[in-house]
Amino acid sequence: MKTIKHILLFIKNIVVQVKRKWISLPLLFVFPIIAVGLVITIIASFFYPDEQQPIQIGIVDLDESDETQLVTDLIEESSQLGSYIQVHKMKEKEAQESIGNNEISAYIIFPNKFTKSLYQGHPVELPIVGNPKKQMDSLLIREIIESVSRHIRASQANILTINYFAKELGMNDEQRNELVFEQFKEFVFYTLGSNQIVNERDITNQATTSPFHYFGMGFWFICLSIWLFIIYNYLYTDSHLRMKQRVRLYGVTELQQIIARIIVSMISSLLFCGILFFSIDKLLDFELSVPDYSKGIMLTVLYSITLLGILAIIEVVIVSNKLRLLAQSIVLLMSLVVSGAIIPVIYYPQWLQGLVTYSFTYETFYWLIEMLLNNRIFIDFLPISIMASIAISTLVGISLWKERVID
Amino acid sequence: MLEVHSLSKSYGNKTIIQDISFTVQPTEIVGLVGENGAGKSTLLSILATLLKPTKGTIALENLNYLSHRKLLREKIGFVPQDIAIWDNFTVEENMIFFEKLSWKNKNNKELRQLCLSMNLDKWKEPVKNLSGGMKRKLNLAISLIHDPELLLLDEPTAGIDLKSRKEIGSYLKSLATEHEKMIIYTSHDMDEITSICDRVLCIGQDAFYQNLLESSGKPLLAF
Amino acid sequence: MIDIIKTRFIHWKKQRISLLFWLLFPMICTIFIIQLITAIQEDSQIPVGIVMEEDTVLANHLYAKIKNTPILRVVNVTETEAKQKVESHELDSAFVIQEDYEENIKKGKRNWLIKSYSSNLSFAFTPVKEMIISFVQEETGRSKTAHTVHDLSTDSEIKFSWEEVTKKAKNIQVEEDLLLTTFSFANTPNASKDPNITPVNTWGIWAVLSLLSTFLIFDWVIKERKSVLLLRYPFIRFSIKSFLLRNLLLYTMLLFFVDIITVILFHYVLNESLTLAGIGLLFMYRFMINLGAFLSGLMFHRLMSYYGFSFIITMFISILSGATVPIDGLTNRFPWIVIYNPLYSFLEQEWFNPWLLLLLLVVILWRIKGVKYNA
C-alpha cells in the first residue's frame, strides 16, 4: 500500500518536472519519427530502385570484332536487363571520367582479342570496374554480370561443340568459320530470349501484404521502441547522494522511483504511438476490428513493460551515465535488428533465426504482423507475458538486492 | 596599498553599494560585516576584478583597476565562498594542478610547506575524504600559491569546527604581519572578527552590527 | 604548454579506465561489428521453395544445382504450400520444375519449363530467377546444340546421338571454363575474382563510433566549466578560453595518436589501405569532430543533456552519412544531402571539407568574441 502511495507520489513529481520542461516534449515526439522515417526511406529506396533514374553502366569494347560489336550493340539497345539498368557504349577514357564524375555505377571491359581467344579456347578475363561511391549498385551489377557470363560460358561451349562436330563431319575451314559466327549470333539471340523459361506468377491477391504495410508497421514499431527509450531516459534525474539518502529515510526505494518512471514513459509512449498509428492507418488502411485493437494494445503494453524493464535493469547495474546510455542503446539496437522490423528475419542465417525467436522484440513484431497483415485471429500472449514477468522480476530482484547491499 | 574611492555598484535601479571609500595598508586585516544581501560578496568581487564598479576608482599599489585588470590579478588572491577544488584529486594533486596554472612556480616542497603552515597535513589524501575544515584550508592554500599581495576571503570559515577556525585565523594573522599582506575578509562570527581584524568595515549601515562593533572596541572604518 | 600537459595528466590518471575505454571503444567495436556482419552475411541465405513435378535425371540435376548454391536455402514444398508460404512470406519465392521438363528440353523447347511464385515482398526474386534461368539455359542450350548438329548431319552418313552431343558440350564447358569475371573498384589497385564488396564500410562505422566516443570524452568541457571552478580561472596564468583551447589541442593530439594506431590495426586486421593521404584526411576528420564536440560542450551546462545530445547527433549523422546504411538510393534522388553530411570528406576522400572550415570559423569567432562564455 505504502509502495503504491510512493509510486503515485513520484509519478506526480515527474509530471511536475515535465511541465517545467514542456518545450522539449514536441521534440521528443518528432525526433524518432524523423530519424526512423529516414532509415525506412533509405532502405525502401534501396529495395525499390527508382525507375526514373536507372543504374548507368558503361561498356568498353577494346576488341572491336564483329562479335563484340554485335553483343555490345545488342546489350545497349535491349531492354532485357529491365528498366532499371541502362547501358552505354563508351571509350575506356570516357568510362574512367564518368566514374570520376559519378555518372555511371560501373563499366565492363571486353578486352583485346576477346573473341579470338574464346574461339581458340584461351582463357579470357572480363574485368568489371565498380564505382566506389555506388557500392550497392556495383553489387547488383556484379550479380547480373555473373549470370551473363554464365550464359556466355555455356554458349561458348556449345559453339565449340558445334565446331568440333562440324570438323568431324568434314566441313572445310571457311564454311566452318562462317557456321561458327552464325551460331554465335544465334546463341546471342537465344540467350536474350531466355526469360521465356520461367512462367512468372505474382502473388499479390491480398491487399494488405504490400511492403508498405510491412514497413509501415516496422516504422511504427521502431518509433515505439525509441520513444520508450528516449522518454525513460529523459525522465532520469541525476539526484545527489544526499538527496538519495534523504529520500531513503522516508522509506522510498530506488525501485519505486524507477517504476514511477516506467509507468510515465509507457503511458506517454502509448499516447504518441496511438497518434502515429492512426495516421499510418489513415494512409494504409489495415482494416482492423475492435478485438484487433484490444489485442494490439495488449501486445504493445506487454512489450513496453519488457523493454523498459530491461532498460531499468541496465540502469540499476551500471552506475556510469555514459556507459549506461551506451549499453541501453546497444541493447535497443540489437533487439530492433533482430525483431525483423528493419530487415525481415527470413533473410538471416539459420542459426540466427533460431536465436531470434527468443527475442521479445521478434515475438512482439511477429504477432503484430500476423495479426495486421495475415489476419490471424489467435495470438499467443504466453511467450511475451513470460518475458515481461522475467524482466520485471529480475529488475525487482536486482534492485532490492543492491539496496540491501548498499545499506 | 589598496585605495578605494567613492565606490558604488548598482544593478539597474537597485543600488547595492553606495559611495564607499577606504584604504588598506600592508600588514592590515580588514573585516567585512553586514547582514545577508548587504553587498559583502559584491564588494569582494569588485575588489577581485571579477565585477566592474558602477562608479568610483580603485587602485592597488598605484595600479588602476580600470586599466590593469590582467596585471592586478597576479597580485590578488581570491578565496571563494564555495569550495572550488577538484573533488576526485588528492590534496597534493590539487596543489600541483593549480601551481602549474599559476604565475609563480613552486616546487613540491614549497607547496607542501604552504599546506603544513595552516596545519593541513593530509597530503596524499583524496579530497572527498577530508573534513570540512581541511577542505576550507585547501581552498585557501590554492589561492595563495601565487603569493598575492591582496588576499580576499569570502567567509573562509563557514561551517567548520572551532579548532580549524582558530588555525585559519592565526594563519591569516601571521600572513599579514610576517609577509606584509593586505587581507580583507567577510565573516558572520563576531568573535572571530574582533579577535583577528585590525579594523572592521560595516556594510549597509546596519545599526545592529555597528553597536556590536562599538561595544567590542574595534575601530570602525570611516566611509 | 608543458604545464597544461602536466595538469591534464593528473586528470587522465584519475579517469584512466574510463578514458582508455572510450579511446579504444571505436577501434575495438568496429572490428567486432565487421566480423559479426561478415559472419552473418556469409551465412545469410535466401529461403526458396522448390516444387518437383517430375523425377528425371535433368530435373534432379537442376535441383542439385540450385541446392548447391550457397546463397540459397532450398525448401521442398508442394505447389499449394509454395503459394501459401510465399504469401505469408516464409519463403522469398518459389519455383516449380514442371512436368515434362526433361522431355521438353530434349525436344528443344524451352518456354515455360519453370513456373515461379513471387510477391511484392520477394526482395531477392530477380537475382534468384536470373540464376535459375541460367542453369536451365545451360541445358536447353546444349539441347539446341544437339539439334543443330543433328541438322548438320542430315546429309552425312555419320550420326551423333542427342546424349553424345550434350555430353561433349558438357565436357567442353568443364574442361575449358575460360571466361572469368574480375571485379575491382575504380582507383583501387588490385582486382580480384571474389572481391569483398560488403555494404558495410569499415571506416564509416569507425567514423560514427568515434564521433560518439569523442563527444563523450569531451565532457571535460562541461566538467571544467562548473560554476564553482569558474572562480579560479581569473587567477591563473591562462584565460579560460586559452585554457580550454590548449586542452582541446592536447586532446586532439591524444585522440589522433589513437587514430594512428587504429589505422595500423585496421590495415593488418581488416586489410584496409594505409596511405599518407588517408592519414591526412583522417586528421582533418579528427580535428573536425573535436571542434564539433568542443563547441557542443560549450553550449551545455548539464552533463546528462549533453550525453543525450551526443547520442542523438550520432544517430542522425550515422543515418544521413551513409556510414551505416547505404544511402545511394537517397543521394541519387536528393544530391544535396551530401552537402550536409559532415562525414563526406573523410569517407569519400575529398580534401575540401566545409564542415571543418565552418567549425574552425566558429571557434575563432568564439575566441575573439563570445563574451557569453567568459566568466
Domains and CATH numbers, chain A: 2-45+206-406 (no CATH), 55-196 (3.40.1710)
Chains touching chain B through at least 3 C-beta pairs below 8 angstroms are: C
**Percentage of residues of chain A with pLDDT beyond 70:** 89
Dihedral sign for Cα atoms in the order A77, A80, A84, A87: negative
- With cut-offs at 50, 70 and 90, classify the pLDDT of residue B222: very low
Distance spanning both ends of chain A, measured CA to CA:
23
Strand ranges of the sheet holding A55-61, from the earlier edge strand across to the other edge:
A85-89, A55-61, A106-110, A124-130, C179-185
* CA nearest to C133, candidates A11, B171, A194: A194
Provide the pLDDT confidence category of residue B33 given band limits of 50, 70 and 90: confident
> What ipTM was assigned to the predicted interfaces of this complex?
0.81
In chain C, where the domains are located: 2-38+194-373, 45-175
The angle subtended at Cα C145 by Cα C113 and Cα A124, nearest 5°, is 100
- Please name the member of C3, C4, C228 whose beta carbon is closest to the beta carbon of B84: C228
Residue A169 vs residue A202, higher pLDDT? A169
Closest CA to C370 of C310, C294, C304: C294
Judged by average pLDDT, the poorest of B105-119, B192-206, C318-332 is C318-332
Distance CA(C50)–CA(C122), nearest Å, equals 15
Residue C164 to residue C160: CA distance in whole angstroms:
6
| B touches A, CB cut-off 8 Å, minimum 3 pairs | no
Please name the residues between 253 and 312 in chain A that touch chain C, using a CB distance below 8 Å. none
- pLDDT for the residue A240: 67
CB contact under 8 A, C326 and A169: no
The phi, psi pair for B64, rounded to 5°, reads: -75, 140
B84 with C232: Cβ contact below 8 A: yes
- How many angstroms separate the CA atoms of C285 and C263, rounded? 13
- The answer, for A129 touching chain C at a CB cutoff of 8 Å, is yes
Enter the DSSP assignment of B219: P
> Homologous superfamily of B2-84+148-216 in CATH?
P-loop containing nucleotide triphosphate hydrolases (3.40.50.300)
Q: What is the pLDDT of residue C297?
A: 93
CB contact at 8 A, A231 and A28: yes
Which whole number is the average pLDDT over A31-36? 78
The B14-24 sheet, strands edge to edge: B14-24, B2-11, B55-60, B63-64
Q: How confident is the model at residue B26 (pLDDT cuts 50, 70, 90)?
A: confident
pLDDT of residue C88: 75
Q: Assign a CATH topology to domain C45-175.
A: abc type-2 transporter like fold (3.40.1710)
Question: Do A and C share at least 3 CB pairs under 8 Å?
Answer: yes
Chain B positions contacting chain C at CB under 8 Å are 48-50, 73, 76-78, 80, 82-84, 86, 88-89, 93, 96-98, 100-103, 142-143, 146
- Cβ atoms of C178 and A115 within 8 Å: the answer is no
Query: Which of C17, C18, C228, C235 best probes binding to B when mutated, by most B CB atoms within 10 angstroms?
Result: C235
A206-258 tens-digit pLDDT: 444 566 788 788 889 988 998 899 889 888 876 666 777 777 777 777 888 88
C126/A136 Cβ within 8 A: no
pLDDT of amino acid A207? 43
d(CA C200, CA B140): 57
Compute the distance between CA of residue A328 and CA of residue A315 in angstroms, rounded to an integer: 8
A189 part of contact set with chain C, CB < 8 Å:
no
pLDDT band at A49 (very low <50, low <70, confident <90, very high): low
**Secondary structure of residue A79 in the 3-state scheme:** coil
pLDDT of residue A71: 77
Mean pLDDT of the B34-42 span: 80
- Residue B223: the pLDDT is 44
Q: Could you tell me whether strands A106-110 and A124-130 are parallel, antiparallel, or unpaired per DSSP bridges?
A: antiparallel
Over its length of 375 residues, how does chain C's per-residue pLDDT go in tens digits? 888 888 888 889 888 899 999 999 999 999 998 888 888 877 777 889 999 998 898 899 899 989 988 888 899 999 888 888 887 778 888 999 988 888 888 888 888 888 898 887 777 787 788 888 888 888 888 888 888 888 888 777 777 888 888 888 888 887 776 677 777 777 654 444 444 555 567 888 899 999 999 999 999 999 888 877 788 888 888 888 888 999 999 999 999 999 999 999 998 888 788 888 889 999 999 999 999 999 999 998 888 889 988 988 888 888 777 766 666 666 666 777 777 778 877 877 778 888 889 999 999 998 887 554 443
**How confident is the model at residue A210, as a pLDDT?**
65
**Per-domain residue ranges of chain B:** 2-84+148-216
DSSP single-letter state for residue B90: B
Range of A17-31, B35-49, C275-289 with top mean pLDDT: C275-289
For A135-187, the pLDDT digits (tens) are 667 766 776 777 777 777 888 888 888 888 888 888 888 888 888 888 888 88
Do residue A135 and residue C307 have CB atoms under 8 angstroms apart? no
Mean pLDDT for B127-150 is 87
- Compute the distance between CA of residue C270 and CA of residue A228 in angstroms, rounded to an integer: 36
pLDDT reported for residue C264: 92
Mean pLDDT (chain A, rounded): 81
The pLDDT score that the predictor gives to residue C198 is 55
What backbone torsions phi and psi does residue A289 show, to the nearest 5 degrees? Answer: -105, 170
Name the pLDDT band for B220 (thresholds 50, 70, 90): low
Per-residue model confidence (pLDDT) at position C374? 40
The residue-averaged pLDDT of A281-291 equals: 80
pTM of the model: 0.79
In tens, the pLDDT along A60-89 reads: 888 888 878 877 787 777 655 555 677 888
Nearest CA in chain C to B70: C234
Q: Which residue has the cell 585565523?
A: B169
- 3-class DSSP state for residue C264? helix
> Which is higher by pLDDT, A394 or C69?
A394
A321 contacts chain C (CB < 8 A): yes
Percent of chain B with pLDDT over 70: 91
